[in-house]
A and B are shown apart, each in its own frame.
Chain A
Amino acid sequence: MARMTMIKAINSALDNLMQRDETVCSFGEDAGYFGGVFGCTEGLQAKHGLNRVFDAPINEAAIIAMAIGMASNGLRPVAEIQFSDYIFPGFDQIVSELSRIRYRTAGSFTTPVTIRTPCGGGIYGGQTHSMSPEAFFTHIPGIRVVMPSNPYDAKGMLIASVECDDPVIFFEPKRLYNGPFDGDPHKPALAWSSHEKGEVPTDHYTVSIDKAEIVRAGSELTILAYGTMVHVAQESVRVAGVDAEVIDLRTLLPYDMQTIAKSVNKTGRCVVLHEAPRTSGFGAELIAQIQEDCFYALEAPVVRVTGWDTPYPHAHEWAYFPGQERVIRAIKQVLEG
């Protein structure tokens, strides 16, 4: 075991993977020699060589297409898209190709590609370094979409993603790279070294990409969250002093409905959180499924707390971010409803 940031944990996962399996390779813009703009692949080129860890030209379509081609020829590529805001030039390769190759060839061609990409706000990145575009991807049949909320899960889930034979989009909440964040920008930044989930084995292990995790058991209501919002949820629950069950979804597609339904059927009340805009966000999917599966157990309408339906504003970042105040208000609304 070692204390790791999420960056180190991701780096360690890639290192383990490349050590064990010579078909694993990793590439992206600035992700070779320099080790990525956040340092997730630092040192890997020196250790594993130029053909396994390398810099890619600035073309996200090319990066994803190259990964598809490599995967169809026996490699297990991990492609880094520098910011998820910049994944869209590669969207066609994901929607029309990566996600469908198994289906359209009746399983005779497969493309086990993992796309790693940082997402989310909270770093004053403005509208092109802050997006949470997960819902665009949860609408694509044939890919898996995951988002860890801590270093331990990040490493275990990244290894599971790369070892999975399905293509995976692996979102990394960049605000959590160096420490947990409960949504209050005025508090001093925390480090993962003081958090139990910053304790990460240096060896290979996996964390299921099929299971959500109940990070706090409770009886009064269920809060569904993923990524940064998991930490906002936990702190909001503490501040509000309610006995909420907080579920870290971890995987958005296919999501763990069993764990969700079990919890909502128990509590009868549910709040769904995400940083992404509200309309047609992933929360809409969760709530639709909850009302189908848990309708008779519900005591109050399910409520969403989300980013606004606007681009992420730079200066007013904290008016956009769905912080504790709004989460607590939703908790109260659902408990009273």
Chain B
Amino acid sequence: MKRNKNNNNTGFFVPEPAARPGEKPDFSRIDISSPGAVPMYKIDCAAKQTHEFADGLIRVLGFDGVAGGDWDPKLDASELLEMLRLISLTRTYDERMFKLQRQGKMSFYMKSLGEEAVAVAAAKALDDEDMVFPSYRQQGILFSRGRDMVDMMCHCISNSRDNLKGRQLPVHYSWAEGNFFSISGNLCTQFPQAVGWAMASAAKGETAIAASWIGDGTTAEGDFHAALTLASVYRAPVILNVVNNQWAISTYAGIAGGDQASFASRGIGYGLPTLRVDGNDALAVYAATKWAAKRARSGHGATLIETVTYRGESHSTSDDPGKYRPKDEVKSWPLGDPLERLKDHLIGLGTWDDKRHEKMLTEQAELVRLAYKEAESFGTLREGPLSPTASIFDDVYVEQPWHIRRQRQDLGV
């Protein structure tokens, strides 16, 4: 039996990334169009019209920090500064929590380093009444919607004030009051659920739409296709986002079929409008989301958005990326850093400078430090106090059936 490496004309093909540890990072596969290359579409355009640019890239911020092109949302300085602040706050929070996990303060953590704009800018483009069905890497939405940071931390350290009573792994937030759906550990399950939520909103004649996020790797799941089918068939008011951060734990986007066609172009076969966006360009993410939201709200159905970005940190606190990708790969990432790019833009506008930026970073670090101090006063996973032990038997059903009651008594709580 002949089984050989790729390129020997035998065997089947197994995609491999351009660079592995010790090799020179290579992102030549990423095509970058300039701001303005993708035209703005009419809000009720035929889906087909967007398909021409399913492999393109909607961009607003040039690498010189200047905004341009049809998609420029023309936000005022205060809105831009707010996004900058939120992206930075998300990063500062992540940084601190990651370190605290290393110190044993929580069981697990996942950063969104390098892709904070995807969550923050989208959240800012949505209405607060819109329901979001995120994955575990959109903590930026919580900050954008004003969730109390101490509460977020209390969840992560599973203490007595954790709103999820210690039942969920850290980072798997749920915040009903903020229209933030429970994050599942099981990939992609939320994608078709978001469509269902949106259909219910439409059925009730309400204006709220739904938005969901999954990763590049997750597009391989069947639920991805389930969501696109439903969204297309029922023209549901939903925005389906694929965050293409190039990596799914150790496998690069090519293992999910990303080398053959863009993830945005998956929408073509379903007749969904597709927008492929520079995910490190907060203005472009904002504009694309705004467009899709307006389209959904005005009865023209769903949009598939791919945001192209890069996962700047390990997948989680459980893996060492040095084992599967070049250590300094992020430095070669051609779309830069979302925080730096927005900062440069603001400096270019004359509304921001390095000094103020440094001051903001210092203040945010202090804010996060104080928030953690407060969170810790409600306990930690290791030292407690936790939610009452008896609470593990609550919420399995509306009321405790006899067998669960008996088990609770058996545990003596």
- Chain A nearest CB, measured from B407 CB (Å): 5
| A316 and B256 in contact, given A59-B221, A308-B404, A308-B411 (Cβ under 8 angstroms) | no
Do A50 and B11 touch across chains, with their CB atoms under 8 A apart? yes
Q: Is B108 an interface residue (CB 8 A)?
A: yes
Number of interface residues of B (CB under 8 A): 54
A308 to B396 alpha-carbon distance, docked (Å) = 11
| A57 and B256 in contact, given A37-B318, A51-B3, A309-B404 (Cβ under 8 angstroms) | yes
Q: What 0/1 readout, one digit per residue, does chain B (150-175) give for beta carbons within 8 Å of chain A?
A: 00000000100010011111001000
A315 to B158 alpha-carbon distance, docked (Å) = 6
A214 to B165 alpha-carbon distance, docked (Å) = 41
Which of B6, B184, B221 makes the CB contact (< 8 A) with A58?
B221
Which of A22, A37, A315 makes the CB contact (< 8 A) with B387?
A315
CB proximity to B under 8 Å, residues A17-56: 22-23, 29-30, 32-34, 37, 49-52, 54-56
Select from chain B the residue with minimum beta-carbon distance to A57: B220
| Chain B residues whose C-beta falls within 8 Å of the C-beta of A127 in the assembled complex | 167-169, 185
| Chain B residues whose C-beta falls within 8 Å of the C-beta of A22 in the assembled complex | 1, 3
A88 to B255 alpha-carbon distance, docked (Å) = 21
A309 to B395 alpha-carbon distance, docked (Å) = 12
From B221, B318, B393, residue with most partner A Cβ within 10 Å: B221
Do B403 and A58 touch across chains, with their CB atoms under 8 A apart? no
Which of A33, A59, A319 makes the CB contact (< 8 A) with B411?
A319
Q: Is A103 an interface residue (CB 8 A)?
A: no
CB proximity to B under 8 Å, residues A298-337: 308-311, 313-316, 319-320, 326
- Chain A nearest CB, measured from B234 CB (Å): 23
Q: Is A211 an interface residue (CB 8 A)?
A: no
A187 to B114 alpha-carbon distance, docked (Å) = 40
A298 to B70 alpha-carbon distance, docked (Å) = 81
A52 to B324 alpha-carbon distance, docked (Å) = 19
Do A51 and B218 touch across chains, with their CB atoms under 8 A apart? no
Do B318 and A86 touch across chains, with their CB atoms under 8 A apart? no
Do A55 and B251 touch across chains, with their CB atoms under 8 A apart? yes
Do B14 and A32 touch across chains, with their CB atoms under 8 A apart? yes
Q: Is A289 an interface residue (CB 8 A)?
A: no
Which of B107, B184, B389 makes the CB contact (< 8 A) with A319?
B389
Which of A23, A49, A89, A313 makes the CB contact (< 8 A) with B166?
A313
Select from chain B the residue with minimum beta-carbon distance to A307: B407
Q: Is B74 an interface residue (CB 8 A)?
A: no
Select from chain A the residue with minimum beta-carbon distance to B393: A310
Do A23 and B411 touch across chains, with their CB atoms under 8 A apart? no
From A51, A124, A125, residue with most partner B Cβ within 10 Å: A51
Do A308 and B108 touch across chains, with their CB atoms under 8 A apart? no
- Chain B nearest CB, measured from A209 CB (Å): 27
Select from chain B the residue with minimum beta-carbon distance to A305: B410
A17 to B80 alpha-carbon distance, docked (Å) = 59
| Chain A residues whose C-beta falls within 8 Å of the C-beta of B318 in the assembled complex | 37
Q: What 0/1 readout, one digit per residue, does chain B (278-317) give for beta carbons within 8 Å of chain A?
A: 0000000000000000000000000000000000000000
A66 to B335 alpha-carbon distance, docked (Å) = 36
A309 to B410 alpha-carbon distance, docked (Å) = 12
Do A128 and B4 touch across chains, with their CB atoms under 8 A apart? no
Do A126 and B3 touch across chains, with their CB atoms under 8 A apart? no
A82 to B50 alpha-carbon distance, docked (Å) = 37
Do B168 and A308 touch across chains, with their CB atoms under 8 A apart? no
Interface band, chain A: 35 or more
- Chain A nearest CB, measured from B192 CB (Å): 12
Do B169 and A125 touch across chains, with their CB atoms under 8 A apart? yes
Q: Is A95 an interface residue (CB 8 A)?
A: no
Which of B172, B218, B403 makes the CB contact (< 8 A) with A309?
B403
Select from chain B the residue with minimum beta-carbon distance to A320: B392
| Chain B residues whose C-beta falls within 8 Å of the C-beta of A308 in the assembled complex | 392-393, 404, 407, 411
A58 to B223 alpha-carbon distance, docked (Å) = 11
Q: What 0/1 readout, one digit per residue, does chain A (52-73) give for beta carbons within 8 Å of chain B?
A: 1011111101100000000000
Do B387 and A50 touch across chains, with their CB atoms under 8 A apart? no
Do B220 and A59 touch across chains, with their CB atoms under 8 A apart? yes
A34 to B20 alpha-carbon distance, docked (Å) = 11
Q: Is B187 an interface residue (CB 8 A)?
A: yes
Q: What 0/1 readout, one digit per residue, does chain B (1-24) give for beta carbons within 8 Å of chain A?
A: 101111000011010100010000
Q: Is B366 an interface residue (CB 8 A)?
A: no
- Chain B nearest CB, measured from A70 CB (Å): 10
Do B324 and A34 touch across chains, with their CB atoms under 8 A apart? yes
Which of A54, A57, A85, A278 makes the CB contact (< 8 A) with B185?
A85
Do A51 and B255 touch across chains, with their CB atoms under 8 A apart? no
| Chain A residues whose C-beta falls within 8 Å of the C-beta of B11 in the assembled complex | 50-51
From A52, A55, A315, residue with most partner B Cβ within 10 Å: A315
- Chain B nearest CB, measured from A192 CB (Å): 21
CB proximity to A under 8 Å, residues B1-57: 1, 3-6, 11-12, 14, 16, 20
| Chain B residues whose C-beta falls within 8 Å of the C-beta of A88 in the assembled complex | 186
Q: Is B349 an interface residue (CB 8 A)?
A: no
A308 to B412 alpha-carbon distance, docked (Å) = 13
Which of B158, B249, B386 makes the CB contact (< 8 A) with A30?
B249
Q: Is B77 an interface residue (CB 8 A)?
A: no
Q: Is A279 an interface residue (CB 8 A)?
A: yes
Select from chain A the residue with minimum beta-carbon distance to B388: A316
| A314 and B107 in contact, given A54-B14, A86-B186, A319-B389 (Cβ under 8 angstroms) | yes
| A319 and B169 in contact, given A50-B11, A85-B186, A310-B396 (Cβ under 8 angstroms) | no
Select from chain B the residue with minimum beta-carbon distance to A56: B255
- Chain A nearest CB, measured from B163 CB (Å): 13
Do B1 and A23 touch across chains, with their CB atoms under 8 A apart? yes
User: Can you list 27 A-B contacts (CB < 8 A)?
Assistant: A23-B1, A33-B20, A49-B3, A50-B5, A50-B11, A50-B16, A55-B255, A57-B217, A57-B255, A58-B248, A58-B256, A59-B221, A61-B222, A86-B187, A88-B186, A125-B169, A126-B107, A126-B185, A129-B169, A129-B185, A278-B403, A308-B392, A309-B404, A315-B386, A316-B166, A320-B392, A326-B410
The interface of chain B, by Cβ under 8 A from chain A, is: 1, 3-6, 11-12, 14, 16, 20, 107-108, 158, 162, 165-169, 172, 184-187, 217-218, 220-223, 248-251, 255-257, 318-319, 323-324, 381, 386-387, 389, 392-393, 396, 403-404, 407, 410-411, 413
What 6 pairs across the A-B complex have the smallest Cβ distances? A315-B166, A128-B185, A126-B169, A34-B250, A57-B220, A315-B158
Contacts beyond the supplied A34-B251, A58-B256, A314-B166: 15 A-B pairs with Cβ under 8 Å: A33-B16, A33-B324, A34-B250, A34-B323, A49-B3, A55-B14, A58-B248, A89-B223, A125-B169, A128-B184, A129-B185, A278-B407, A310-B396, A311-B167, A315-B167
The interface of chain A, by Cβ under 8 A from chain B, is: 22-23, 29-30, 32-34, 37, 49-52, 54-59, 61-62, 85-86, 88-89, 124-129, 278-279, 308-311, 313-316, 319-320, 326
